Amino acid sequence: MQIPTIGFDHKRSNQAELEIFDLESLYQREYKDHSPQRPHRITFFMMVYIERGSGNHMVDFKSYPFESGSIVFVRREQVHCFDFTSQPIGKVVIFTQAFLDQVHANMRLPNYTPTHLNQSRSPVLALDSDTCLSAKRIIDEVLKEISHDRADPLVVMYLFSAFALMLHRLRPEERHDKLSQEQSVKLARFFDLLQSHYERTRDANWYASQIGTTYKTLNQICKLATDLTAKQMIDAFVTIEMKRRLVVSSVTTQQLAYDFGFEDASNFVKYFKNQTDMTPSQFQKQYADPHI
C-alpha cells in the first residue's frame, strides 16, 4: 500500500492560496483513488475546527483525540488521516506556504516553528467557550470576504492573522518570546538546513558550524524553542521522515538504509528501533493491512 500525496487544489480555491470548507462536505464526496480516512501526506497547512462531535485524528502515525471546540493542526508534509466514525461538524481551513509568506510580508503573524518534533506536544488545541465563539465568527468573516464581489486579499490576511494570533495565545508552549531575533533566525536556518540535509548527516556539530554558531549555542536555542536538544530534534525529524518513507513508498529496509547514509541495513534497523521501539518492518506492517 502506498500513501498518496495530496496537493493544494487552486481550481477549487479559485486560484487563491487559502480555502475554507465544511468538514461534513468530505463525507458526501466520492473518492475513486483515495479516502481521507486513509493516511495521506499533504503539501499545505491545515486547521480543522470541530464545532460538534468527537473522534480521533492521526498525525504522523500517532492518534490524537478531539472533541467539540477543538482545533487540529496539520503541517505541510505531515502524514494524517480523518476519523469520520461519528461524523463531526466543523470547518476545514487549508492554506499554502505562499499564503503564509504573503501574510508575513504584510503583517504580524506567529512563526510556524518545528515544535511538532516533540512527541509530547499535541496537534490538538481545546478552545474555551469564548474563543470558540470568536473562532467561528472569524472563520465566517473570512468566508464572507472570500465570496464578496470585490474581495480584498488584505482583509482575508488581516482576519487570518487575528485568528492565528488568538490561537497562538492559547498555546504558551508554541510561543517564542524567549528567543531573541538572532536566535529565531538561527533556529529557522537550522531547520531549513535539516530539511535539506537530513539524509546526509545527523551531526548536530555540522549544523551548528553551517549557521556560524557553536553546538552549545544551538542546543540552547533548540531547548528554548522545542524543549529538545539539537540532536533530539535531528533524530525526531529523521525518524518521522523514515516512517513516512516506509509507508508512503513501501521502500525496502535496504534501500532506506542506503538513502539515509547508513553503512548497512543492520545499523539502520538498530537506529530505527532505538528511536521507535520497533523494527522498520514491524512499523511497515501496521499500515500494510487496508482495513487498518
Superfamily of domain 5-170: Regulatory protein AraC (2.60.120.280)
Q: Which CATH class is domain 177-288?
A: mainly alpha
Beta partners for residue 79, in sequence order: 41
Average of pLDDT values for 121-150?
A: 91
For 253-275, what is each residue's pLDDT tens digit? 899 999 999 988 999 999 999 99
What was the pLDDT predicted at 246?
A: 84
For 6-27, what is each residue's pLDDT tens digit? 777 777 766 578 999 999 998 8
What was the pLDDT predicted at 178?
A: 66
Report domain extents, the chain: 5-170, 177-288
Phi/psi of residue 234, nearest 5 degrees: -60, -50
Please tell me the distance from the alpha carbon of residue 35 to that of residue 285, in angstroms, as a whole number: 20
Helices (H), the chain: 25-28, 97-106, 129-146, 153-169, 181-197, 204-210, 215-226, 230-248, 253-259, 265-276, 280-286
What cell numbers appear for 63 in the block? 492518534
pLDDT beyond 50 at 163: yes
Indicate the average pLDDT of the chain. Answer: 85
For the entire predicted model, the pTM comes to 0.75
What was the pLDDT predicted at 290?
A: 44
- Give the contacts of 181 (CB within 8 A, at least 6 positions apart): none
Q: Coil, strand or helix: which one is 211? A: coil
**Percent of the chain residues past pLDDT 70, beyond the cut:** 88
